[in-house]
Amino acid sequence: MALSQINAPIYEALRKFRRMRVVPFDVPGHKRGRGNMELTEFLGEDCMNVDVNSMKPLDNLCHPVSVIKDAEDLAAEAFHAANAFFMVGGTTSAVQSMIMYACKSGDKIIMPRNVHRSAINALILTGAVPVYVNPDVNNQLGIALGMSVSQVEQAIRENPDAKAVMVNNPTYYGICSDLRRITELAHAHNMLVLVDEAHGTHFYFGENFPVSAMDAGADIASVSMHKSGGSLTQSSFLVMGKAVNADYMRQIINLTQTTSASYLLLSSLDISRKRLALMGREIFAETVEMAEYARSEINSIGGYYAYSKELINGDSIFDFDVSKLSVYTLPVGLAGIEVYDYLRDEYDIQIEFGDIGNILAYISVGDRKRDIERLISALSEIKRRFGRSGADMLTQEYISPVVAEAPRTAFYAEKVSLPLDEAPGHVCSEFVMCYPPGIPILAPGELVTKEIIDYIRYAKEKGCQLTGTEDINIERLNVLV
């Protein structure tokens, strides 16, 4: 019988397998949880029962021939792709796989500088060389936007030997570049188009969202099913068009992917894909309704600016993802990270992130109307209790980097550790970023400037969680000798 989107082959195989009551003399050693009762009581027997190893009835992620193959085919269909892979190492592994597919050592790749660290990590792994397109910056909000088509065009003209163009669709804040035109341009110059859709799963299933990578004709996309798609943390899809050699892609994925893929993650991808394929339209309509309601209520508080499609400028903000609830906080005299901390410490509300000027609350179908009311009221109270005049606030979120070395060269080069104040003028050999959002302030190979050090100090002072450096306290920076 032919499979359709109502099927979830991995999930169905696991249910069947559970009924077979097979005696396990294989790994995992907890043996359906019996060997680790405390863990079983914590996670539940049902969960431990399906934490099993690859075997004939359950297929093998490294070399899928039966139920995983079927599930991947259904996923490809759901994402309008020629092929899809289940990824169990997070969207990080998907981003790295698509870059490793496109680029070998020394190959150039055109990308916006506000990529996630996973993309620059891939450059260290492969030795590919980035050609950064500086994203446009909205001076009012201080956030990095999408890439303008003319800047991409210029980068392509100046680097006709580049192998690929990478695009965020959308950015963490919900901003989309003109993916269709960038794809046309790249293809006209024989470059692959790689899309980081960590925040764009819903584009494939909802209505009136920005165009998805596959629909725009892009070649490969990394899709975080575990964000708006509802699967378990760390599970993700890599989807690709006809022009991509899927068998070679599998080899690339297998270079770094585990050989013991978790069936908890795989089944969660399978079930979530089915759910979105069947009900995604209603699910995301509800999500957008909640986000729109929250936006209008937050804007009526005054001071806060919950932005949306009015930002669209036809180029670097070609489209906006209205399911995102991004709020600009500086007019109430508080940095985004301060509002983020107040929400958690004072009101027991955890949001996705706060940076210098913005917060992002992640809205999904799991939210309840009354929780949205709490979030809005808490923001209103934070303004009343802690609001200040907006003076003395650093607004700049994005500083254009000066790239002195390729990331891989800088990362592996001989280096010396300097106190932050002595670092300006040197070339950095490591990352510095606030996490989340995980977009590097400094990446390996970039010139350290006083402006960047000031920014790092300001972010630290405001309470951003900084990561990336070898020095866990971010007091010192590794720079090239």
Q: Give long-range contacts, CB 8 A cutoff, 24+ apart: 414-417.
A: 414/480, 414/481, 415/478, 415/479, 415/480, 415/481, 416/478, 416/479, 416/480, 416/481, 417/470, 417/471, 417/476, 417/477, 417/478, 417/479
Cβ proximity to other proteins: between 147 and 378 the closer is 378
Q: Which two tokens stand for residue 83?
A: 């092929």
Stretch of residues binding other proteins (CB under 8 A), selected from 70-78, 330-338, 345-353, 402-410: 345-353
Output phi, psi for 335, to 5 deg: -70, 155
CB of 380 to other proteins, least distance (A): 5
Q: How far is the CB of 368 from other proteins (least distance, A)?
A: 9
For 33-128, list the strands marked E by DSSP. Answer: 83-87, 108-112
Residues 242-301 that bind other proteins (CB under 8 A): 297
- Count the residues of the shown chain that bind other proteins, applying the rule CB under 8 A: 15
User: Would you say 117 or 383 has its CB closer to other proteins?
Assistant: 383
449 exposed, middle or buried (CB, 10 Å; 0-12, 13-18, 19+)?
middle
User: CB of 192: closest distance to other proteins in angstroms?
Assistant: 48
What minimum distance in Å lies between the beta carbon of 42 and other proteins?
19
For the record, the structure tokens of 299 come out as: 């804007």
Select from 117, 101, 323 the least CA-distant residue to 204: 323
Q: Which of 161, 346, 451, 471 binds other proteins (CB under 8 A)?
A: 346
Cβ 378 to other proteins shortest distance, Å: 4
Closer to other proteins by CB, 197 or 297: give it.
Answer: 297
In the numeric block, the tokens 């949306």 are attached to 308
Q: Which stretch binds other proteins (CB under 8 A): 79-87, 330-338, 346-354, 450-458?
A: 346-354
**Antiparallel, parallel or unpaired: β 440-442 and 466-467:** unpaired
Least Å distance between CB 373 and other proteins? 4
Cα-Cα-Cα-Cα dihedral sign, residues 339, 341, 344, 345: negative
Residues numbered 363 to 422 that lie near other proteins (CB under 8 A) are: 369-370, 373-374, 376-378, 380-381, 384-385
CA distance 284 to 304: 25
Binding mask 425-444 for other proteins (x = CB under 8 A): --------------------
Would you say 371 or 451 has its CB closer to other proteins? 371
Contacts with other proteins, 292-331, as mask; x by CB under 8 A: -----x----------------------------------
Minimum CB distance to other proteins smaller for 31 or for 374: 374
Which listed range, 86-94, 201-209, 241-249, 340-348, lies at the site for other proteins (CB under 8 A)? 340-348
x/- letters, 5..44, toward other proteins (CB under 8 A): ----------------------------------------
Torsion over CA: 288, 149, 353, 222 (sign): positive
Please identify, using beta-carbon distances, which residue of 149 and 378 lies nearer to other proteins.
378
Q: Which amino acid is at 323?
A: S
Cis peptide before 436 (omega within 30 of 0): yes
Sequence-separated (6 or more) residues with CB below 8 Å from residue 216? 179, 180, 183
Q: Rule CB under 8 A: choose which of 348, 391, 392, 481 binds other proteins.
A: 348
Cβ proximity of 3 and 73 under 8 Å: yes
CB closer to other proteins, 373 vs 451: 373
Nearer to other proteins among residue 63 and residue 384 (C-beta): 384
Kindly state the smallest distance separating residue 359's Cβ from other proteins, in Å.
Answer: 15
Instruction: DSSP letter for 201, please.
Output: G
Q: Where are the alpha helices (DSSP H) in 302-423?
A: 336-347, 369-386, 407-412
Structure tokens at 325: 């609830």
By CB under 8 A, name the binding residues for other proteins: 297, 346-348, 369-370, 373-374, 376-378, 380-381, 384-385
